[in-house]
Structure 1
Amino acid sequence: MLLLAASIVVSLSIGSASVPLSDVWRILLNYVTGAAGDGGADPTAIAIVTQVRLPRIVLALLVGACLSLAGAGFQGVLRNPLADPFTLGVATGCSVGAAFILLFGYHMTVGMWLIPGVAFVTGIATLGVVVTLARARGAMNIQTLILSGVIVQAFLGAVVSLMSSMSQGVVNEINAWLMGSISARGWEHAQLVLPFLAVGAVVLIRYAMALNLFVFGERHASHLGIEVERTKLSVLIVSTLLTAAAVSVAGVVGFVGLVIPHLIRLIVGPDYRLIVPLSALGGGIYLLWADTLARTVASPKEIPLGVVTAFIGAPFFAYLLYRRKMQQGGTL
């Protein structure tokens, strides 16, 4: 929590227009408490902190927390530390809806909320297709579920590529969505994501003990009183809702749901009662700093957020795999 608070304050002071940390603390205190006056701070600095950077930072925290929680949920259900919100094709399903709206320009007539809304619906529909393909005799086999997700993801990825190739004037918009960004987002987007994060965190914490028992296998978990199929379906649905909510406002941002839960597991152990809440905090901090780098490294240009998370996450995860390989005597 201290790292989170420090990250917020430091990130608020970093940008093309630098704001001293002392001013940031004063502005935040006045903003949160609703105190009258500017506390001696520059009005321009107040506008930059409260109207430009703070909404973006809050959204980065929420999106990062959603993706990390979803990653923890998928890893627990699939019993695979390499699983993430993209394993079952949910993010790609969201991209299909967004690309469709951008291709035909419906967002220009209906409004800005059409893209997140349609992306959310197509993401949920993707999970429905994957679960339907994987279910047999009222049960879902984990291997079949993963295979179904890979097949659906490959197909939907081809659909997105087809729409991108068909587009002319909006190809850059589609590519920007696929690379992820929270630029030009405001408080309304944060308000959209917050309810899903609040409900999702509560549900996943409730199922944390069941996810701990899944480590011993579904049969053992069932013998210990866990309703296996109900638990799997509930966690998958909640994790999908978290993923769809994050992707619908930020586009495709990879590696957050893969790296952060895995890192938390290395730090605190395999107990999901710790992994779930700490993944939310870690994911928020990770995406906050990734977005800070995205908007400052090449200023005044901005690097796509998904590119930054990939540049940071891929080498780091490769290091984790190498470390695990060395610990196992040189074999993965």
Structure 2
Amino acid sequence: MKTIGIIASLFCFAQTLSCQDVHFSQFFFSPQMLNPAEIGNFDAQYRLNANQKTQWKEVSRPYTSFALMGDGRFAFTPKEIAMGLLIMNDNAGDSRYNTLSILAGGSYRYLIHGSEKHSLQGGLQTGVTQIKLNYDALSFNNQFNGVVYDPNLPTGENFARNSRWYFNLNAGATYTYNPEYRKSLTIGFSGHNVTSPKQSFYNDTGIKLPFRSSVYATADWKIAEDFDLMPAVRWMDQATFTEVIFGSALRYVLMDESIIYRSIFAGYFGRFGDSGIAMVGFDLDAWRVAASYDINVSSLKPASRNRGGFEFSVQYLFNKSSGKNQIPHKFCPVFL
């Protein structure tokens, strides 16, 4: 069977097809893709997150990723249980290699010594994923007539299928330390692709999606009256791929009174050996919006010209808890 050149190049450049899962640079703002145990790990009743990324425009057809996730603690479940839903779609390169995942999950929170300061949370996530390839967008050796490329010539390939569905299972756990308002630390571990589902378009049972593990820590820590530090680190491993991201953002709190919360933040993170990630964003009451850009510094930079891609995240919290600085209630006097 002949080698499909373009697909091979996609494996080398992107490392995101059947070799490696789709993931975002702003991993700390894509909770359900980071760890199923992050479901319900926030200070509100419900949460809605959306993430979008476009990258490798300079190398090939742009890679685009989109994720929508919602989670919360619902009236029909015990307060220790949270539930969430994740929908993710990724379209990669010239082959239009598409990944669509629909995953549902839940988590259970245990308060250590009954205190909100220390908590453990475990989570499971399961669902289905479809991977699909567009062969019509590819070129093959047999379509070269000796002078020029002729797309009307037969490819000479015998494709068994152009798509497949598979079941997947992810699991994880977190420890959260929250000593006081505007101070929190989370340490987590997650394992994805526990079932190692089959990936081959040629029905080769030996080609499977490798197990992916990650360990991470994130914090949101008050360092001055109006400033918070937001450091984050993650180590991730999948088959022969290892990724380490480390960095921090600094938040300036403009207003924090009852349900009114306004802030701006900026930071820089490094993906070792691959890229730098510059990020800016703001909080507006129940909204949080962030934008980042990957600056490629890997061996691909002659082709990428140091350009990675833009990434955006949006979050909305429903029934968000009020801040520490409450505005006291004052009743108007009654005049007779």
TM-score (normalizing by structure 2): 0.26
**Which is helix-richer, 1 or 2?**
1
Which is higher, the Rg of structure 1 or of structure 2?
2
TM-score when normalising by structure 1: 0.26
Which one has a larger percent strand, Structure 1 or Structure 2?
2
